[in-house]
Amino acid sequence: MLLIPCPWCGPREDDEFTFGGEADFPRPAEPEALTDEQWADYLFMRDNRRGRHREQWCHTAGCRRWFIVERDTVTNEILGAGTYGGSP
């Protein structure tokens, strides 16, 4: 079980949340300008890091806000949480 610190609601059990994969994969501003390889890279390729990992979580069964969690993928230790732009 992970205790995930929602920036708006505080720490909650992980079954209230949805995992959204790695963070920091912004949608390209001009998709049509990309080559097939560049678009495929955005679409399919993720780093799957060992260790510190920034990832997206949504407090689905709570405030329904998406936010960013930094987690150690080896120990599952949660190192911090941040919001998208707005402050909690």
Partner 1 sequence: MSQPFRLDHGGRVDRDTPLQFTFDGRPIDAFRGDTVASALLANGVTLVGRSFKYHRPRGIVSAGAEDPNAFVQLGHGARTLPNRLATVTAATPGLKVRHVNAWPTLEYDVMSAFGLVAPFIPAGFYYKTLMWPRRLWPLYEHFLRHAAGLGHAPDAPDPDRYDHVHAHCDVLVVGAGPAGLAAARAAARAGARVILADEQAEAGGSLLSTHERVDGLPAPRWADATTTELAATRGVTVLPNTTAFGLYESNLVLLAERLITDQPDSAGSENGARVWRVLPKQIVLATGAHERPLLFANNDRPGVMLAGAISTYVNRYAVAPGSRAVLFTNNDAAYRTALDLTDAGVPVAAIADVRSDPAGDLSSEVRAQGIAVHAGAVVRHAQGGRRVAAVELCSLDGAPLGAVECDLLGVSGGFAPALHLHAQARGPSEWDPTLAAFVPRGANGIHPAGAVAGQLGLADALRQGTQAGSTAAAAAGCSNGSDLEVPRANESTQAFIQPYWLPPGGLARAKPQFVDLHEDVTLDDLRLSLREGFESIEHVKRYTTLGMGPDQGKLANPLATGVIAELLGRDPASVGTPRHRPAYSPVSLGAIAGRHIGPLADPVRVTPMQDWHEAAGARFENVGQWRRAWYYPQPGESMHEAVARECLAVRHRVGILDYSTLGKIEITGPDAGEFLDRVYTNAWKRLRPGRCRYGLMLGEDGMIFDDGVTARLDDQRYLMFTSTSNAAPVLASLEQWLQTEWPDLRVYLTSVSEHWSNIALAGPRSRDVLAAAGTDIPLDRRDFPFMTFRQGHVAGVQARVFRISFSGELSYEINVPADCARHVWEALVDAGRPFGITPYGTETMHVLRAEKGFIIVGQETDGSVTPDDVGLGRLLSRRKDFLGKRSLSRPDSVRPDRKQLVGLLTDDPNQILPEGGHVVDSPGPRRPLPMRGHVTSSYFSPVLGRSIALAMVTGGRAALGERLYVATLHDNRWLPARSCHPVFYDPEGARQHV
How many Å apart are CA 26 and CA 24, to the nearest integer?
6
Residue 6 token pair: 């929602």
Please tell me whether residue 58 binds Zn ion under the rule CB under 5 A: no
Residue 59 touches which member of partner 1, Zn ion, none, C-beta under 5-8 Å by kind: Zn ion
Residue 27 touches which member of Zn ion, partner 1, none, C-beta under 5-8 Å by kind: partner 1
Give the number of other Cβ atoms within 10 Å of residue 44's Cβ.
Answer: 7
Q: Which DSSP state fits 31? A: G
Please tell me whether residue 9 binds partner 1 under the rule CB under 8 A: no
CB of 33 to partner 1, least distance (A): 9
